[in-house]
């Protein structure tokens, strides 16, 4: 009986406490609404939103701000204080060029409160004038250099080199910056155990401090046609070059074996005429009794071509 009575008293006290906090919460909400409903005057730094800047120009001082004094109710101030306020300057209407700079002055469009709602009273804008430095944009097309390491499954390869798509990028920006850029590399990439066609998107390695630059692309696709490869062998005739006219040589062998890799689809296209092996007599050492064969021509569709014989014996006949 005593326990029951204690529980009833405790429950009654808890209800009184809950009611107290509920009234406290209501009072706090009413206070907040009362404060936000009042009108306040304050000055804020507004970032510049540049509109309709001509494509042939780049604005160099992007950090310019306007200090604007406003009078409005607390709800509006809450919006301005929770996010960076911005104001638009239209370069096709509000800007004029003078002494090699773009300049802005207080205008009727701002003083007439056109960029603020009717609930906001615009009292002042400072400074009275803004000066924007600018440079003439240069448009330049630069090649994309592929930086990729591909590891193929044994027996697979690509007949042609890896290509970037697009293979070039258009850069727009200040001449002083763009003129120094000769090419853009891809971010270093590595692909392993490749046995099918490659089609991977990679980012470009952009220059530092690119805020003033525009790129037609910031990523490219790396593409390569991957095929099954096989080994090929051909006996290629050896030619002697740079031999004095008054010297006659007899040499052996007359041809050397060239080994190479080629895709199955191109295997039948490779012929002896696609290769050329020479021995350069001018490179002969006086004590040397043999010539060294060099592979000076090979078709683009083969890979890893090499001569299996590294010596050509000769006899000089006077």
- Give 221-249 pLDDT, tens digit per residue: 999 999 999 999 999 999 999 998 888 88
Tell me whether residue 210 is in a domain: yes
- Quick one: 66 and 81 in the same domain? yes
Q: Which residue among 108, 132, 156 closes a domain?
A: 132
What percentage of the chain exceeds 70 in pLDDT? 81
Domain contains 251: yes
The last residue of a domain, from among 194, 224, 254: 224
The model scores a pTM over 0.75: no
Average pLDDT, the chain: 82
- pLDDT: is 7 or 99 the higher one? 99
Tell me: do 262 and 312 sit in the same domain.
Answer: yes
In-domain check, residue 14: no
* 70 or 169, higher pLDDT: 169
Q: Which structural domain, as residue segments, surrounds residue 211? A: 136-224
Answer whether residue 127 is part of any domain. yes
Are 126 and 166 within one domain?
no
Q: Which of 72, 99, 132 is the last residue of a domain?
A: 132
Per-residue model confidence (pLDDT) at position 22: 63
CATH of the domain at 200: 2.170.120.40
Q: Do residue 115 and residue 150 come from a single domain?
A: no
Q: Between residues 51 and 242, which one has the greater pLDDT?
A: 242
Based on the fold, state whether residues 152 and 199 are members of the same structural domain. yes
- 41 is a domain residue: yes
d(CA 182, CA 178): 9
pLDDT at 209 over 80: no
We report the CATH number of the domain holding residue 76 as 2.170.120.30
**Would you say residue 77 has pLDDT above 80?**
no
- Report which listed range, 37-41, 80-84, 146-150, is most confident: 146-150
- Position 141 scores a pLDDT of 94
Domain count for the chain, please give it. 3
What are the structure tokens assigned to 129, written together?
Answer: 């004038």
- Would you say residue 185 has pLDDT above 70? yes
Do the domain assignments include residue 27? Answer: no
- 233 neighbors 270 (Cβ within 8 angstroms): no
Report if residue 18 sits inside a domain. no
The answer to whether position 20 is within a domain reads no
């Amino acid at each position: 009986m005593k326990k029951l009575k204690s529980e009833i008293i405790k429950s009654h006290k808890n209800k009184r406490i809950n009611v107290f906090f509920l009234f406290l919460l209501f009072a706090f909400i009413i206070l907040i609404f009362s404060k936000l409903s009042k009108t306040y005057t304050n000055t804020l730094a507004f970032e510049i939103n540049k509109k309709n800047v001509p494509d042939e120009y780049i604005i160099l001082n992007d950090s310019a701000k306007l200090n604007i004094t406003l009078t409005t109710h607390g709800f509006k101030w809450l919006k301005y204080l929770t996010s960076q306020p911005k104001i638009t300057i239209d370069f096709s209407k509000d800007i004029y060029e003078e002494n090699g700079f773009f300049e802005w002055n207080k205008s009727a469009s701002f003083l007439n409160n056109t960029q603020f709602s009717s609930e906001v009273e615009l009292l002042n804008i400072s400074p009275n004038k803004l000066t924007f430095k600018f440079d003439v944009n240069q448009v330049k097309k630069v090649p994309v250099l592929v930086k990729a390491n591909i590891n193929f499954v044994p027996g697979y390869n690509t007949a042609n080199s890896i290509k970037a798509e697009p293979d070039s990028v258009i850069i727009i920006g200040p001449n002083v910056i763009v003129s120094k850029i000769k090419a853009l590399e891809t971010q270093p990439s590595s692909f392993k155990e490749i046995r099918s066609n490659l089609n991977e998107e990679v980012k470009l390695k952009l220059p530092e401090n690119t805020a003033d630059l525009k790129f037609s692309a910031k990523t490219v696709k790396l593409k390569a046609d991957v095929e099954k490869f096989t080994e090929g062998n051909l006996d290629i005739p050896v030619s002697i070059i740079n031999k004095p006219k008054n010297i006659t040589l007899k040499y052996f062998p007359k041809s050397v074996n060239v080994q190479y890799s080629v895709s199955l689809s191109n295997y039948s296209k490779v012929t002896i005429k696609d290769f050329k092996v020479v021995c350069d007599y001018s490179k002969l050492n006086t004590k040397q009794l043999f010539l060294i064969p060099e592979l000076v021509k090979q078709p683009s569709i083969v890979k890893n071509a090499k001569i299996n014989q590294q010596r050509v014996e000769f006899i000089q006949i006077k």
